[in-house]
């Protein structure tokens, strides 16, 4: 089972929202999204029109990054759900929320989902 090992704050910046991937640090002023208030460079970043595709892609990425699901895992789970011919998005989100690492995180056993995932892998939960 693979997992993303790169910088977590980069994922937040990519989707433009706080995904709370680093536990308590996310609530402090050390958060990367809090620090970076304006874009780099002399000129302010231009507002561009967000396409429908980009909007949907961003929402999918947000869910993937939040729950720590890889693209391959994501595709396989959707493929399985397609066979059932049900409303995919709701069921998929329901499946993600029922994962043991997410439950451990929501119960407060861990500070972040990554930490909860490690606890599950090490057999503490
Ligand atoms: Fe995202 Fe801020 Fe947490 Fe970094 S510290 S993962 S930018 S919410």
Q: Is the CB of 117 under 6 A from ligand 1?
A: no
Q: Using an 8 Å Cβ cutoff, are 94 and 100 in contact?
A: no
Position of tokens 């407060």? Answer: 108
Q: Is the CB of 33 under 6 A from ligand 1?
A: yes
Cα 35 from Cα 57, distance rounded (Å): 26
Q: Looking at the CA of residue 8, tell me the nearest atom of ligand 1.
A: 6
Q: What is the pLDDT of residues 3-23, one digit of tens each?
A: 788 898 889 888 888 998 898
Extended beta strands in 17-99, E state:
none
Whole-prediction pTM value?
A: 0.78
Estimate the crossing angle of helix 71-84 against helix 88-97, to 10 degrees: 120
Position of tokens 């536990």? Answer: 23
- Tell me whether residue 3 is in a domain: no
- Tell me whether residue 2 is in a domain: no
- Tell me whether residue 100 is in a domain: yes
Q: What is the pLDDT of residue 90?
A: 77
Q: Looking at the CA of residue 21, tell me the nearest atom of ligand 1.
A: 6
What is the pLDDT averaged over residues 22-42?
Answer: 79
C-alpha angle with apex 113: 111 to 114, nearest 5 degrees? 95
The 8-class DSSP code of residue 17 comes to: S
Q: DSSP string spanning 23-66? A: GGGGGSTT-HHHH--S-SSSSPPPP-PPPHHHHHHHHHHHHHHH
What is the pLDDT averaged over residues 35-46?
Answer: 67
Q: What is the pLDDT of residues 60-105, one digit of tens each?
A: 899 889 988 888 888 888 888 777 766 777 777 888 888 898 999 9
Q: Which domain holds residue 62?
A: 8-43+51-121
Residue 78 CA, ligand 1 centroid: distance in Å = 28
- Tell me whether residue 56 is in a domain: yes
Q: Is the CB of 12 under 6 A from ligand 1?
A: yes
- Tell me whether residue 114 is in a domain: yes
CATH code for position 102: 1.10.1050.10
Number of domains in the chain: 1
């Amino acid at each position: 089972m693979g997992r993303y090992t790169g910088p977590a704050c980069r994922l937040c910046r990519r989707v433009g929202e706080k995904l709370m991937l680093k536990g308590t640090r996310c609530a402090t002023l050390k958060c990367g999204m809090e620090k970076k208030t304006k874009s780099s460079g002399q000129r302010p970043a231009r507002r561009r029109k967000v396409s429908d595709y980009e909007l949907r892609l961003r929402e999918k990425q947000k869910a993937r990054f939040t729950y720590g699901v890889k693209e391959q895992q994501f595709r396989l789970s959707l493929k399985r759900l397609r066979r059932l011919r049900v409303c995919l998005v709701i069921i998929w989100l329901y499946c993600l929320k029922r994962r043991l690492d997410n439950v451990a995180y929501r119960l407060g056993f861990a500070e972040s989902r990554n930490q909860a995932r490690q606890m599950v892998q090490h057999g503490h939960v």
